[in-house]
Amino acid sequence: MDDLEKAIIISFDESGTIDHELKSRAVSYCQQLKESPSICRVCVERVLCTKFVQVQFWCLQTLQEFLHLRYSSMSPEEKLYFRESVMSMACDGRIGEKGSIRFLDGPSFIKNKLAQVLVTLIYFEYPMIWSSVFVDFLQHLNKGAAVIDMFCRVLNALDDEVISLDYPRNAEEVAVAGRIKDGMRQQCIPQIVRAWYDVVSLYKNSEPDVCTSVLDSLRRCISWIDIGLIANNAFVPMLFELVLVEGPPEQLRGAAANCVLAIVSKRMDPQSKLSMLQSLQMSRVFSVVAGNGDSELISSLAALLTGYAAELLDCSKRLDSEEIKGISTELLDEVLPSVFYVMQNCEMDATFNIVQFLSGYVATMKSLSPLREKQVLHIGQILEVIRSQICYDPVYRNSLNVPDKIGKEEEYRMEEFRKDFLVLLRSVGRVAPDVTQLFIRNSLASALVSSSERNVEEVEAALSLLHALGESISEEAMKTGSGMLRELVPMLLSARINCHSHRLVALAYLETVTRYVKFVQENTNYIPLVLAVFLDERGIHHPNIYVSRRASYLFMRVVKLLKAKLVPYIQKILQSLQDKVGQCMNSDWSVKVQKSSGTEDGSHIFEAIGLLIGMEEVSPEKQSEYLSSLLTPLCHQVKELLLDAKVQNQDDSFEKIAVIQQIVMAINALSKGFSERLVTASRPTIGVMFKQTLDILLQILEVFPKVELLRNKVTSFIHRMVDTLGASVFPYLPKALGQLIADSEGLEVILRKSTCELQELQKTFYTFLHVVTTHDLSSVFLSLKSRVYLDPLIQLLLHTSCSHKDILVRKACVQIFIRLIKDWCARPNVEEKVPGFQNFIIETFAINCCLYSVLDKSFEFRDANTLVLFGEIVVAQKVMYEKFGGEFLVHFVSKAFQTARCPQELAEQYCQKLQGSDIKALKLFYQSLIENLRHQQNGSLRSGGGCGQLFSSLDSSSVLRIGSSSWGLAGVLVMLLFVPFVARLGSRALLEVKLYRRFSK
């Protein structure tokens, strides 16, 4: 072993026993050798005399790299030497008289690498330079199986590396592939096909592996060679003989089937294709499929049959002649039973889209009425395929019941996988509704009578089919129980499934029952059955917590639908839920729920109860009794926990926080069932209960002021009470809002956010201002506490409307000014609401925003958003004219236009357009005017008017002073307006808007 071989072997070592420095030196030595001018000859000679496969592989890899990098710089002599050497290796394994070992006896990965080297040479030289490469190779095939195998490897590598469109190719590679295919078609393809035929005929019994390789090479080429060379009376019978006879190995039979599939899939005009498909007599394959189990051969036959059926369907769509279409229909009818069989029982080729094929077939039936007997039979088989495809694999059964990571992944995968099949089910249902409903009815009946856990997947699939059927039934049909619904729904509601303990089955059952509750709305005699489903061990009392939680949510939805029809059952429902309601007062349970994932917690039970007992159909006495029995113990527990927290000073007590949070969510959910009219007008006693509850829950903010989760939950409850209690909630708000803005530390953290985050918060701030002004709330800015901030607010809006980088923010600010002008500016001779505001609008806003800002060249009219902003600016001018009349017009034209050196005739035209009623014409003229002025001024005007130092006064200290002030309700809103991080206070901000919309008038 010389230094080169040692270096190569060391560089390939992955055992970890070689010193790292030694390995680095070895890699470096090999790399340096690659730069040698004689490396080509060194590698050619070394690859045939070494006994180490690592050295052979390195030499071949180096030769391939050498060709890629240095082919253009090689001399003709070097190219000839390379060509002869590589061909000698591929066809004999020796060079001259030196060869000490036979190269073709080496391992597969060495022969594959040699094939890649030869293909690289073909890439550069065929057919212009080395036109005889394939013909030369064919002359060596008589040397036996090893050379034939090598020839197949070269052709397969050519397909992988150059020709196949399964891999992305750039324009140059596509051109090279075309060049090589054209050369082969003109020169050698007939000889290669003949050689393939002879090899398979000769070696099919003695060398099945070689024949398999030959057929694989044949399959790859069929798509681009003359189909007549293969689809003929010689080749096709031989291929079918291999497929149908049981003697040859499965790999060889499968390779033959794959060749037939390639023939079937060959692109050609539909009439020629149909004639070829008819000549294949594919029915010979049907019995082979049915008589074999799951195997590699069956997978190939399944792909063949489905590909054949897909081509027939395509022909029937593309042919116009009814007679010829009849042929394709006959052939389809003949093959479809076998296709349906393989779809249900065999591993399908990933390239074949079952749904796409079946959807195409079903689409051909849409215009047929009635369906033929065979088509009805096929519809039933399609439904069987759908059911088999949407079944979970039993191997995941335990993982899905937990569910663990594997189970969650499989559930998500199946959820996505099923979508297309369920769409197909709806299509089938439209074509043959009676057949579809009968199939689903029988599937459900079969699943329900099964007495073993073995059919978990079958039951779940049957329920999923019934659920999907409900999606396609109209509301009217659902209510009247058309079709088989009058049989299906009672069967479903009364079902007792042996495998109901499994999570998948239980969830599918509950979802399906919920889907058909609209039927129960009109058929109230089934209400007891529905209640039993949700209240017994099939639903809320199911042992699996995931099922129980989902059942709680679905039960709440059912209550919403049935509502008043459930009044006679309220007492029974509350008794059934007593244990679940009691769990909300158990701290251990609450913590357990808090720690577990998912949003469907116990609060849904309370929402359902609230919907039930909050109805006016419930007597006042019973209503008060029910509500008190729930609120009293919950509030008592909150008071105890808060008292304990004060004594223990355990602000960070996870257990207490979790329990309190759960209780607040439960009370909040409970209150959703009570309307404002009921609690404030017809039954004020109920309102008193909620006020007392609010008073208790507000204490949470005092005891746990820095626990964000609790603050959010209490804030949500305050929102709910604004809706529920109306104006009577007002006395409770100062205390609530004071607590909500007391956390100044949180504001300091926000002030340190990144520039990007602050920009987003700033946009939220402007959005908030926009909401306030466009919802008739601008009067809040004029309150006594707010006026001190009015001037900086207006200056801020002016600056933003003129020069903010975000065009949409600028547009919002202009819209705010338009609304303020409408709200605050009266007709002449009427006292101003805001002294000085009208002058500011005429002298500052109009000039800076409506003229100077649009004269700037950064105002890009070609941008769609900028054009929208421009439209708002024109509207602002129209509003100012309507409010201020000649005063605005004179000032704007005489001062602003004069400063911009606007020609007199254009100024006069502007006045005419402004006084007219066509806002579109005004906009078009004003845009033309601005572009005209830009040419004159060359963009020299800029916005002005005191917009410079707007943010300087809003530093962190002033913000914190605002936050700590003891303001009234209006003051709180102003604080929210002026901190540029309203997003942090989003829910509170919305609360302010809600309050002012309800009570400011």
Report residue 211 as tokens: 């024949």
The pLDDT value given to residue 217: 96
Alpha helices, H only, 126-229: 133-138, 145-158, 171-187, 189-203, 208-221
The rounded Cα 990 to chain-centroid distance in angstroms is 30
How far is the C-alpha of 972 from the C-alpha of 735, rounded, in Å?
A: 12
CA neighbor of 457 nearest in space, from 517, 518, 410, 494: 410
The whole-angstrom separation of Cα 967 and Cα 738 is 8
Cα angle 833, 839, 844 (rounded to 5 degrees) comes to 130
Q: What is the pLDDT of residues 890-928, one digit of tens each?
A: 899 888 898 888 998 999 999 999 998 889 999 999 999
Q: Give the span between the Cα atoms of 667 and 630, in whole angstroms.
A: 9
pLDDT at 291: 61
Asked whether the beta carbons of 104 and 94 are under 8 A apart, the reply is no
Model confidence at 43: pLDDT above 50: yes
Question: What letters, b where the CB count within 10 A reaches 16 and e where it falls short, cover 735-747?
Answer: ebbebbbebeebb
Whole-angstrom Cα Rg for the chain: 41
Instruction: Report how far apart, in Å, the C-alpha atoms of 907 and of each of 319, 771, 842, 878, 889 are.
Output: 70, 36, 17, 15, 10
Residue 1001 pLDDT > 50: no
In this prediction, residues 146-150 reach a mean pLDDT of 94
Judge contact between 526 and 558, C-beta under 8 A. no
* Mean pLDDT confidence for 267-284: 92
Residue 793: alpha-carbon gap to chain centroid: 42
- Give residue 488's pLDDT: 92
- What pLDDT does 991 receive? 55
pLDDT of residue 361: 93
CB 189 within 8 A of CB 225: yes
The per-residue pLDDT for 345 is: 85
Q: Higher pLDDT residue, 68 or 965?
A: 68
- Give the model's pLDDT for residue 297: 85
Q: What percent of the chain has pLDDT over 90?
A: 59
Give residue-wise pLDDT tens across range 856-881: 888 999 899 999 999 999 999 999 99
* Dist. CA 997–CA 975, nearest whole Å: 18
**Interior angle at CA 50, CA 45 and CA 51, nearest 5:** 155
Assigned token pair, 205: 């019994």
- Report the distance separating Cα 995 and Cα 723, nearest Å: 9
Predicted local distance difference test score (pLDDT) of residue 592: 44
Average pLDDT value for residue range 529-540: 95
User: If we measure between CA atoms, which residue out of 714, 749, 718 comes closest to residue 731?
Assistant: 718
Distance of CA 854 to the CA centre of its chain: 41
pLDDT digits (tens, 9 = 90+) for 816-845: 999 999 999 876 666 788 888 999 999 999
Residue 370 is encoded by which pair of tokens? 């009635």
DSSP E strand stretches across 463-547 = none
Find the mean pLDDT for residues 742-751.
47
User: What pLDDT, on the 0 to 100 scale, is given for residue 741?
Assistant: 57
pLDDT for residue 647: 78
**What is the overall mean pLDDT for the chain?**
85
Which segment of 418-427, 698-707, 731-740, 754-763 scores lowest on mean pLDDT?
754-763
Q: Which range (109-118, 286-295, 421-430, 845-854) has the least confidence?
A: 286-295
Rounded Cα distance between 726 and 686, Å, is 13
CB 947 within 8 A of CB 802: yes
Lowest pLDDT segment from 642-656, 731-745, 808-822: 731-745
pLDDT for position 958: 29
Q: Which of 54-68, 741-755, 820-834 has the highest mean pLDDT?
A: 54-68
What sign does the dihedral 106-107-108-113 (CA atoms) show? negative
Whole-angstrom distance between the N-terminal and C-terminal Cα of the chain? 99
pLDDT (mean) for 448-458:
75
Six token digits for residue 293: 């189990």
Under 8 Å between Cβ of 448 and 486: no
More confident residue, 831 or 882: 882
Q: What is the DSSP string of 811-829?
A: HHHHHHHHHHHHHH---TT
Contact by Cβ (8 Å): 534, 510: yes
Q: Which pLDDT band holds residue 324 (cuts at 50, 70, 90)?
A: confident
Instruction: Render pLDDT for 202-215 as a digit per residue (tens, 0 to 9).
Output: 999 999 999 999 99
Percent of the chain with pLDDT over 70: 86
- Please state, in angstroms and rounded to a whole number, the distance separating the CA atoms of residues 849 and 842: 11
The answer to whether residue 701 scores a pLDDT higher than 50 is: yes
Single-letter code of the amino acid located at 743: D
Q: Which residue has the higher pLDDT, 272 or 16?
A: 272
**The pLDDT value given to residue 93:** 56
pLDDT surpasses 50 at 746: no
Residues 185-223 as b or e (16 or more Cβ within 10 Å = b): eebbbeebbebbbebbeebbeebbebbbbbbbbbbbbbb
In this predicted structure, the answer to whether residue 50 has a pLDDT above a threshold of 60 is yes
What does the pLDDT read at residue 768?
79
- What would the pLDDT profile of 575-621 be if each residue is shown by its tens digit? 999 998 887 656 454 444 444 433 445 789 999 999 999 999 999 99
pTM: 0.71
Judged by phi (left if over 0) then psi (alpha if -120 to 50, else beta), residue 618 lies in beta
pLDDT of residue 961: 28
The 8-class DSSP code of residue 105 comes to G
Ramachandran assignment for 102, one of left (phi > 0), alpha (psi -120 to 50 degrees), beta (any other): beta
Average pLDDT over residues 97-104: 58
Query: Mind listing the pLDDT tens digit for each residue in 179-191?
Result: 999 999 999 999 9
